Amino acid sequence: MRYEEVIAGFALIALASFGLWASRSYAVGTLKSMGPGWFPRATCLVIMGLGIALVLSNVLKPNPVPLEKNTLKMRPMLLITAAYISFGLTLSVVGLLPAILIVIVISGLAIPRRSLLEWVLIVLALEAMAFWMWYLVKLPIPLIGGH
């Protein structure tokens, strides 16, 4: 049994159940005149069936074949998420360039050990890029300061 596959199967079942729950109020209708709920619910049932098949095929498999080791590191994932969310939260308060600075600092920390020179170069290059993009598409937000 490959536990990753089993987790993946249960995730599909969970997604399908959520979809069925979320679409509970959409009219299903008949084949002749299908309501807004028919196709979504049918798709959810297909996903659920596939999830069950994935779980069963791995539980019933006698000889486990190990998957290649592919881990996901928490540090880059959390820092990149934080960088994006910080952009959304700070943009309208501090303006584009400071918001980008925050993105650079947070996401830059995803890789340990960076020299000061490297930091300075990255900040300068990317702030210039941000300015250029702002100019190019005429973004309706201030470069610095709230709005």
Residues in touch with other proteins (CB under 8 A) = 4-5, 7-8, 11-12, 15, 19, 22-23, 26-27, 30-36, 38-40, 43-44, 46-47, 50-51, 53-54, 57, 67, 70-73, 76-77, 80-81, 83-85, 87-88, 91-92, 96, 100, 103-104, 107-108, 110-111, 114, 118, 122, 125-126, 129-130, 133-134, 136-137, 139-141
CB nearer to other proteins: give 60 or 72. Answer: 72
Smallest gap from Cβ 62 to other proteins, in A, equals 17
Euclidean distance between CA atoms 36 and 111, whole angstroms: 47
What are the distances in angstroms from CA 2 to CA 18, 57, 140? Answer: 25, 10, 51
**Helix, strand, coil share (%) of the chain residues, nearest 5:** 65, 0, 35
29 bridge partner residues: 34
